[in-house]
Amino acid sequence: MTTTTDGLIEAVTREVLAALRGAGDAACPGGDCGGACAARCPDDVRGVVANGAGRISYSGDGAEVPHDLARYIDHTLLRPDAAAGDLDRLCDEAREFGFAAVCVNPTWVRRCAQRLRGTTVRVASVVGFPFGASTPEVKAMEARRAIRDGAREIDMVINIGALRSGDHDLVRRDIERVSDACHEAGALNKVIIETAYLTDEEKVIASHLAGVAKADFVKTSTGFGPGGATVHDVLLMRETVGPKLGVKAAGGIRSAEDVRDMIAAGATRIGASAGVQILTAGTTAAGEGRS
């Protein structure tokens, strides 16, 4: 990379460390949530939404989240052993609770799109999932097929090995091909950088390249890697992409405190599978899938 990029990495790292030191200073009448607690401070979360948050979704221990926030939840099922009935139930729950989207593997996109026809619930799908090792041409073709089947959002995994090898041009082209496939059909491209495999410098470079390649979101994790989202990673990604791109935290988010921390750090969506439990204040269902 150029000296300019090296300077970007250094500047972003400084800003992130400063932000981490200052995190959590805000007070909250319902607890130390930093003004981002949907259950105890719904007006604050509505403010976050009003200021640009796209969606909020969550997998955790259940909380009394107001129903007007349901439209920001992505209801997710990417478990490899999920059967047709599981997907039908996912769609029915999304319709019942007014979730924004369902996120499913490509083979289920057409079924879900048909089941959700006539509703406002969108269908999201994954590309190059979960390893990111397909070629740019294959990823673009996979994205176009999912979109043709009814997907309106694509979560693609970058070529992690190319990034770690320093082949930044390949990473950029990889993202750009999928962005082009999405945008020509009016769909969104969310770029999963799989932070658990990367150094901070590589996370910054990946996020920067996603912006250059005209992605709409950067996303922390597949949920199937060695680790999931952290507040540090969300801050790093937000500082890198600025306010124009969305940031989605995903993987290992299981408690209300996790959700509050991620939103406060700059996440505009949180990948999840237990939206029903949030809205009904039930307990987390085991093994509902990961995003």
pLDDT tier at 53, thresholds 50, 70, 90 = very low
* CA 284 – CA 273 distance, rounded (Å): 9
189: number of Cβ within 10 Å? 25
Query: Is 251 or 161 the better-scoring residue by pLDDT?
Result: 161
To the query of whether residue 190 is one of the catalytic residues in this protein, the response is no
- 127 or 9, which is more confident: 127
Whether 48 has a pLDDT exceeding 50, the answer reads no
Q: Tell me the pLDDT band of 251, cut-offs 50, 70 and 90.
A: confident
In the set 139, 190, 203, 248, the catalytic residue is: 248
**Residue 139 is among the residues annotated as catalytic for this protein:** no
Mean pLDDT of the chain: 79
> Per-residue pLDDT tens for 7-22?
666 676 666 656 555 5
Identify the weakest region by mean pLDDT among 198-202, 261-265, 284-288: 284-288
Residues 191-246: pLDDT tens digits?
999 999 999 999 999 999 999 999 999 999 998 999 888 889 999 999 999 998 99
What would the 3-class secondary structure string for the chain be? Answer: CCHHHHHHHHHHHHHHHHHHHHCCCCCCCCCCCCCCCCCCCHHHHHHHHHCCCCCCCCCCCCCCCCHHHHHHCEEEECCCCCCHHHHHHHHHHHHHHCCCEEEECHHHHHHHHHHCCCCCCEEEEEECCCCCCCCHHHHHHHHHHHHHHCCCEEEEECCHHHHHCCCHHHHHHHHHHHHHHHHCCCCEEEEECCHHHCCHHHHHHHHHHHHHCCCCEEECCCCCCCCCCCHHHHHHHHHHHCCCCEEEECCCCCCHHHHHHHHHHCCCEECCCCHHHHHHCCCCCCCCCCC
Is CATH 3.90.870.10 correct for 3-280?
Answer: no
Q: Say which of 139, 190, 203, 219 is annotated catalytic.
A: 219
For range 40-51, the mean pLDDT: 49
User: Which of 44, 74, 149, 155 is an active site residue?
Assistant: 155
| Arithmetic mean of pLDDT, 171-184 | 98
Residue-wise pLDDT tens digits, 141-150: 999 999 999 9
Q: Please report, for the chain, the start and end positions of each structural domain, with discontinuous segments joined by +.
A: 3-280
| 285 band by pLDDT with thresholds 50, 70 and 90 | very low
Q: Is 155 a catalytic residue?
A: yes
CA pair distance 144, 39, nearest whole angstrom: 38
> 164 versus 28: which is more confidently predicted?
164
Does the reported pTM lie above 0.85? no
